[in-house]
Amino acid sequence: MLYNYSMRKNVLVIGLGVTGKKAQKVLQKFYNVLTFDEKVASDFTTVRELEDCVRNLTAENLLEFALISPGFPPNSLVANLLDELKVNVLSELDVLHILLKLVRTKKVLIGITGTNGKTTVTRLVTQILNESSILAKSVGNIGESMLEAALDPNIQALVIELSSFQLHWTKSVDLDIACILNIEQDHTDWHESHDNYERAKYRVFDGAVYKRITPNDILNSINGQDVMSVLSKSKLAWAARQDGVLWQHLRYDITAAILIALPLNDIMCAELVTNESIMSALSTFQLDPHRSEQLRELMHENGTATPVIDDSKATNTHASLAAIVANPLSSVILILGGLTKGVDFTDYIATAAPHIKAFILIGKDKENILNAIRADEYASRIQLFDIPDNDYVMETAVQRAFSVATGNDIILLSPATASFDQFESYSKRGEKFQEAVRAHFTRYLDDK
């Protein structure tokens, strides 16, 4: 096959998901862009076609770099091919640095990673900065393009949510402020080991210019004067349980956001981030749907109530445990399960079990969860329901949850797993849960 390449430098975009399509559009302003995706229309839709292209380009030294989607693990066929052909494989963050140089502009770059809380803290920091008259945008793993934001001359700061996948592929991290929120067991299927996952997370500190914030920094500041003075004067209904006490994991996230935002005063050489601007941001902030989202209560004839909580965003064990153990009640009817990502559930079940009245299992990847439950010392007193895999899995799970609920229980969807075996995303899983809950309440009221 003959290739007709332009005189402009060639780049390759691997993967045309949301981020890949936006990257293609931006990069076309500066390069001749070639694309590869096996699932959607692109220049090359098979690995063989891609190999022919790359061999031709590299033989003539005509390929500048390949921007790879973080969805491709390092042991994938495509990744191995690019490595074999010695292609300069870059992440979106690498290309962001290139674009900022091309357009000769400077922005404050803030990177946030961790097993849990990334999205909330990224959005919180962005809101604090905007309330402080620093025009900021949340980008990265949160779903917004770093590259589009790079070309916006009005944006002063990019608050970048970074996954371990993105960090694995990044050669030049080079942030002004970098934060690791926490590191727990997750994504061992993609990284092949927890050590590899942890190493990827710590890459966020590579080249950090001004400030590095660790989990210890956050824990040491959670009751500090700076944080307490703000929390005591802010309206934080979005971060509080029904009894008014702040959820511990959200208090942690708020503390992290404050620590990340305050150094902007030194970087911008002006006192912009103040207690007032932080309080304003916190008081108007709203959590994303499906994170500890309290729906409604099932009222019982004896006057007690069963709260119903959608925590579908808990896609790993650490996030799920935060929702379970933070509850003031120790009678949780837990809907969990999905893609376990190679994680061992033994410690999760051992920690959760004292709080659990019933486990309701959904998902296709159940064996290691079932084994952990059956081996636990509390197994004999906990009800266990294994929901069949069909089109009505969530409706069946919700019906089962309501059937065993009595006074002072909590019905909690906090799956501790990825969703892609039965749902398009964690948000679709949460939406299905909420639909099933509404349907149950409709039937319940009709029966009255």
Phi, psi (rounded to 5 degrees) for 432: -65, -40
pLDDT of residue 414: 97
pLDDT of residue 1: 38
pLDDT of residue 3: 44
pLDDT of residue 444: 55
pLDDT of residue 337: 96
pLDDT of residue 185: 77
pLDDT of residue 328: 64
pLDDT of residue 99: 96
Structural domains present in the chain: 10-90 (3.40.50.720), 94-284 (3.40.1190.10), 293-447 (3.90.190.20)
Residues 276 and 146: beta-carbon distance below 8 Å: no
Cα–Cα distances (Å) from 103 to 65, 171, 177, 337, in that order, read: 18, 21, 22, 46
Mean pLDDT by 10 residues, the chain (448 residues): 58 94 96 95 94 93 95 93 96 97 96 94 98 98 95 97 96 96 86 90 88 94 85 84 82 96 96 96 92 82 82 92 78 95 91 95 92 89 94 96 90 94 94 94 61
Q: Residue 412, SS3? A: strand
- Give every CB contact of residue 133 below 8 A, 6+ residues apart in sequence: 272, 277
pLDDT of residue 4: 46
Query: 121: which 2 tokens?
Result: 């803290």
Reference 109, options 122, 120, 119; nearest CA is 122
